[in-house]
Each structure stands twice: as C-alpha cells, then as structure tokens.
Structure 1
Amino acid sequence: MVIQDLSSLDWARWYSDRTMWPIDRDLFLADAVLRIAPMMVFPWDDDFFTSVLAPVTPLIPDATTAFTPDSEPLPEVHETWGPALLRYMPIAEYEATRAVTADPAFWASRYEPNPAGGPPRARVGMTDATTISYDHWEAAALTAADVADRRDSARVAIRHIAHQIAKMALDEAITVLARPIGGGEVVAVDSDAWRIDDPAARIASCMINMREPCATSAPPTHLLFVSRVGFEPAAWAKAQLAPLSLLKEGITPKDAGVLGPRPSTIWKAKEDQAVVAMRAHLNAHPHAYTRPELRRVVGAVSDTVFEKARNRIREEFEFIKLGGAPRGSDRRPPAGR
C-alpha cells in the first residue's frame, strides 16, 4: 500500500483523550506508545500526535524584516506578506487574544459575529484598521513558526516511534495481543503481522484486521494491546539503541535525565534482544558464528550480556559447539565448513 501522510490519519481518536481507551489488563497500544515515546525521543510532548493535524502555516518573515528600527512598516514587505498574515491571524483574532481579557466591553464594541463564519467582523460604522502593527506581525510570525516547527518535529518523532515499535513486535521483543472489537477472546498476534509498509497507520488506529493482518488499511476487526510482562525493560533497552533527539545539540532522553527500570530487568531485556539478533543472523548465515561475527550482530552490549545470550543461542544451534578452540576463544569452523 501507499504510505499515508501522517496528517491524513486519525490521531485524535486515541491520542487526545485517554478516557476513551478500552479497558483491559494489558496495555492498550496507544498507552504503550505514549510510555515508550519519552524514553526514546527528546524533547517529547504527548500533544505531538495532534500537532501533525494542525493546518499548514504560511511562511511569514519576522517583524524586524517588516518594520524599520523605528517600528515603521516597510510598504514593500507589507504588500507582499500582509495578505497572508491577515488570513492566518486576522486583526480581530489578534485583538481578541490580547485585549478581550483586559477590556472585553471595548473589544465587543468594535466587532460583531460574522454571519458567514470565521473571525468576527468590524461593526457597521467602524473601519477596521488595515495596517498591521509591529506586535501583531510579531505574534503572527512567531505563532506560525512555532506551529510549523511542532508539526515537523512531530512528524519525525512519530515515524521514528512507529518504526521502532513495529520492529520490537516483529522481533518478538514485546508481545502484542488482539481482542475483537466489542469484546471476545484475547489472542496473540503473530510477529509476522508486523511485516507492514506503514507502521504509523497501525499506531494511529491501534487496531488490526486479523484476516488480513499485514494490510493496515483493511477494515479492523480487533483492538491491539501489548502485554505488560517485560514491556518496560524491553522498551527502555530499545530506546537506548534508537534514541532520537529533536534538538541540534543532540540531547537524548537519557542525557536529559530520563530514568529507566531497574538495571537487572534492563540487562535481561538486552539479553533477549541479543538472542533474537543472533538467531536471525544464524538462520541467514549459519557459517558465520564466531564471537567477533556475533559481536557485530548484537552491537553495543556488555560482555556479560553477550556471553549469556551466546550460551542460550548455542543450545538452539548445536553446530556452534563443534570445533576445537580452547574455552573462551573463538571456535574454529568444523572440518569441511
């Protein structure tokens, strides 16, 4: 399928009101997403999911570009950018956000409801100013830039989180469960159901069609949940492998002081992930089983975690035990290999 634009997905349904989540002993998928997000992305804001739905804002030069040092408007800039600015933040809207709380009677005397909808209009007999003040221009430019920045950051963060959660489910680092919409027996979702083109679409819907589990656009039949067992350490371990900084300084959640679960649970999660990585590697390359080769596969883990994972995988792949190298060193391939 074609990967959908994030703004076309319904993020408001599950990510704007937690009281709408279905009740279960396990974590609703949206709950799991919101738990892993601050572990993986910095800075994170739960409102990112609705930020991608914000309308596209115009590019508006800052106020210092539109006015002289004496705050006099520059005609050529106002002629070019003024109409776009007024469509984005009409004078009535600007005045309302700043004046109505201080003097609501004065503001009400200047404007009346617009029968056609949209911003209020100047009352009959009054002329609404067409000159944009310095403060109005600055407020519009800053607001537009902030909305655009949040929308862009949200797009990057959501795509990253959706991709990583899909990989966790595919690698069986987390256990995903499904419950029929409207109630029924909970069943495990096969990891192959996460061989999907558009993980963001699944994260948005939090549902699946169990007859077509890889088709994220198929009419859903089940709600998705994540088992609480092992989720937190697995999420933290994954977040350490794939952190995302939205700042040019490169600050990650761990740098910012975000804490994970107890070290012992994290080590077990990393060990489990190392086993999954080794298993996939050995199924594809059964002859490449030396310590350096397996080390490259699992990445940055401690020697203790690596050895525990390697010992577990040796029980699955008996041929690793063959060879005559001394204990603790790289084993040589058996004869003929």
Structure 2
Amino acid sequence: MLLGDMLREFYFAQFGVTVDEIQERMLKPDPDGTDTERAAILSTIHFLGSVLQRGEIASFARPFGGGVPISMPSSSWELDDFEARFATSAVNPHDWWGPAERGTHWVFVDEAGYEAFWKEWCKPVIFADDPVTDQLAVNNFAAAIDHPRSTILRLPEVVKRTGLSKSTIYAKIANRTFPAQILLGSRTSGWQDEHVQSWIRNPT
C-alpha cells in the first residue's frame, strides 16, 4: 500500500469524507492556521507518522519505475515534520532525512500490518450521544475484538464541553495540545471521555 493511500484511507475513516485533493492541500501554505480540514489532515499525518516511527507498521522503499523494495528502518521516520513525506510518498534511501521532493523511491507500507493496526483501533465503545444509532456501528467490531468499553464523545459534545470551536480543536490536535480522536470503524471516530475530561482539568 502506497503511503499516501494509507493516509487517504485512514483520513476517510476518521472523518467520513473523501479527500481527492489531499496532497494539494498539504503542500499549500495555510496563512492563518484556521483551515479545519488542513488541521485534521495534519493531525492524521502526525499520528500515522508516529506509528511508523515506532515500527508498529513496517514500511518499504521501492525505486521509481520498479525494482526490489528495501526495508525502511524505524530511524528513517525520525522526522521533525512528516508532512512532505506523506504528501509525496517519496524518499531517498541514501538520505532518509533529505527533502522528499528529491526522492528516488516510492514509500510503501505493509498492508497486512496496516490492517492489523486498523483492527486494534476499532474498539467497541459506548457513545455518550445518540447511543441507539451509534451502538450499531460498535456491534460490527465487538464480536471480533476484546477491549474494555469506554465512553466516547462525538465532536458536537466535545465542542459543548470544552467551549472550543471545531477549527480550534483540530488546530490543537495538529499542534499536539488536545487529545486526538480515535478510530472506531470505517466512518466512525470520537474522543475518549476521560481524555477530554483530563484536558478540561488541565487545558494546554
């Protein structure tokens, strides 16, 4: 699976929308920092980049035009900013940390590893809002995955409890000053109540 395809698939699952122009949006500067969609994309990029950095999903580099792929060490993901690599899905194995625009290889991730990671994150939960409808989504995963149940908040409830706007929440996620939402299914995501409560007690 190409790195950019993993981002698109994960982003779609998190926010329930397609992102046909995701690479273009990532490469454009955001002068005022209030672009909600861009903040959400950056939050997703940072999360997935951290997963790859920890080696939870294997990654590979394959030469442009085809050839034998090589394994990417977890150290190759020790980047200050993951954005350019996800935007281009490219890298130069002779200079892992160099500009992505000078890449010589495509970046792929292990699809089986990604699917296993996905399954781990699809936790059965109890929703704080609209429990009857949302429980149907939960039941799709409850039989296959054994995780403790926890209360999950949807975005409107998070806005209500924190007093923050949607754009501010996503901007704070991108800046790592607010808890990130968790993936629950193909089009479902939310925030763990205890994480939001912890932030309310000690906002950053």
* TM-score normalised by length of structure 2: 0.54
Aligned to 2:54: 171
Distance 1:215 1:50, change over 3 A: closer
Q: Which has the higher strand share?
A: 2
1:47 aligns with 2:20: yes
In 2, Cα distance between the equivalents of 1:197 and 1:206?
16
Q: 2:2 aligns with which of 10, 28, 34?
A: 28
SS in 1 for 2:85: helix
SS in 2 for 1:223: strand
Q: 2:93 aligns with which of 203, 207, 210?
A: 210
Aligned to 1:154: 37
In 2, Cα distance between the equivalents of 1:218 and 1:199?
13
SS in 2 for 1:210: coil
Quick check: 1:236–1:260 contact (8 Å CA) kept in 2?
no
In 1, Cα distance between the equivalents of 2:134 and 2:59?
30
Moved over 4 A (4+): 254-268
Which residues of structure 2 form unaligned runs of 5+? 124-128, 148-204
Deviations 1:180-210 (A, max 9, x none): 1121111111111111122111110001111
Q: Cα distance, 1:179 vs. partner?
A: 0.4
Rg: which structure is higher? 1
Higher relative contact order, chain-length normalized (CA < 8 Å, sep 6+): 2
Distance 1:153 1:258, change over 3 A: farther
| Residue type at the aligned position of 1:32 | M
In 2, Cα distance between the equivalents of 1:229 and 1:48?
26
SS in 2 for 1:197: coil
Distance 1:154 1:258, change over 3 A: farther
1:186 aligns with 2:69: yes
In 2, Cα distance between the equivalents of 1:35 and 1:260?
21
Q: Cα distance, 1:260 vs. partner?
A: 10
Deviations 1:216-258 (A, max 9, x none): 4461011011111231231354576xxxxxxxxx99xx95976
Quick check: 1:233–1:265 contact (8 Å CA) kept in 2?
no
Quick check: 1:232–1:261 contact (8 Å CA) kept in 2?
no
In 2, Cα distance between the equivalents of 1:262 and 1:239?
7
C-alpha root-mean-square deviation of aligned residues, in Å? Answer: 3.8
Tell me the percent identity.
24
Aligned to 1:229: 112
| Residue type at the aligned position of 1:156 | A
Which residues of structure 1 form unaligned runs of 5+? 1-26, 57-150, 241-249, 269-337
Q: Cα distance, 1:170 vs. partner?
A: 0.9
* TM-score normalised by length of structure 1: 0.34
Distance 1:224 1:267, change over 3 A: farther
In 1, Cα distance between the equivalents of 2:142 and 2:113?
13
Quick check: 2:63–2:104 contact (8 Å CA) kept in 1?
yes
Number of equivalences: 136
